[in-house]
Structures are given as C-alpha cells and as structure tokens.
Amino acid sequence: MKKGLMLISFSIIAGMAAYAQTAQIIPTTDTKTSTAPVPAVKQEVLTLKETTHNFGKIPQGRPTTYSFEITNIGKEPLRLENVQASCGCTSPEWSREPIAAGANATIKVGYNAYAEGAFNKAVTIFYNGNQTKTLTITGDVYKSPASSAPENASVQFLKQ
C-alpha cells in the first residue's frame, strides 16, 4: 500500500513539474505596436589607427614604448577617463585634456621587458561613461648577453 501511494505521489509531482516546463502561448488580438522608447545606442566617437602592435624581439631588461594614435570623430570634445594596463609591466601615458572634435591624440604604451619569453598584454581605454576600446601589445623578450663583448679566455693567459 505504501509503495502504491508513493508511486502515485511521485507520478503527480513529476507530472506537475513537466506541465510547469511547457510554454503556454496565448494569442492576442491586439495589433498595436509597442510605443515604448528604444534605448539609444551611443554613437561611436573614438577611432584607433591600429589596435595592436608587435614589438618583435626585445632584449631582456630594455624597456620599449609605442604610441597609438586615436581620433575623436564625434561632434563634441572627448575625454579619456582612464587608460588601464592588464599588468604592472605595461604602463600607458595619455593626456588628461579633452580631445577636440576631429582632433588626434596619442596613447604611449610602455613595456618593461623584464621577464624572458613571449608576451601579450592588453590596455583598456575607458571613455564616454561606459564605452571601452582595447589595445594589444605583443612581442618576444630574449635573454640578453651578460656583457657587451664575448668572453675571451686568452686575456687571462696574457695577464699572467
């Protein structure tokens, strides 16, 4: 008796769960279109001449920089709110002054080539409240020689 009651209870619960998962389409006779305001899409006002730069092979311990060119294609002055690097080995520099409509500016990105190996770093530009653009720098850091000239074993022999 208990098994039968449990089986019936389980069947009812499973049936209710299955019924709750089905979509019910209710036809409407209202043919009016929605007059709710559509959220305005912000017009793009910042263009980049290029978004990536490959430094190629860089000797270890020698910092390097590259300047990305940006253009304000909007009708009003553009202010860069922040330019943020993905890690401490990358350092962006930019003007805090507004960029006039139609004017160009640069963002100088420096990379401290301390760690040996390939790198891929992102720099994010924040502007116009909630808009962003991302710059990317890549390259390969190789181990530089300990001295500028190779060791010469004969020098020690001559010093004796």
Q: How many CB atoms lie within 10 A of CB 90?
A: 18
- What pTM was computed for the model? 0.65
Count of structural domains, the chain: 1
CA–CA distance from 13 to each of 6, 9, 17, 85, 93 (Å)? 11, 6, 6, 54, 63
Is 126 within the bounds of a domain?
Answer: yes
Q: For the residues 70-77, what does the mean pLDDT come to?
A: 92
By CB atoms closer than 10 A (0-12, 13-18, 19+), residue 91 is: middle
Is 151 within the bounds of a domain?
Answer: no
pLDDT at 16 exceeding the cut of 90? no
Q: Which domain holds residue 53?
A: 46-142
pLDDT at 122 exceeding the cut of 70? yes
Answer yes or no: are the C-beta atoms of 132 and 124 closer than 8 Å: yes
Q: For the residues 60-72, what does the mean pLDDT come to?
A: 94
Question: What is d(CA 69, CA 49) in angstroms, rounded to the nearest whole number?
Answer: 6
Question: What is d(CA 82, CA 96) in angstroms, rounded to the nearest whole number?
Answer: 9
pLDDT of residue 145: 74
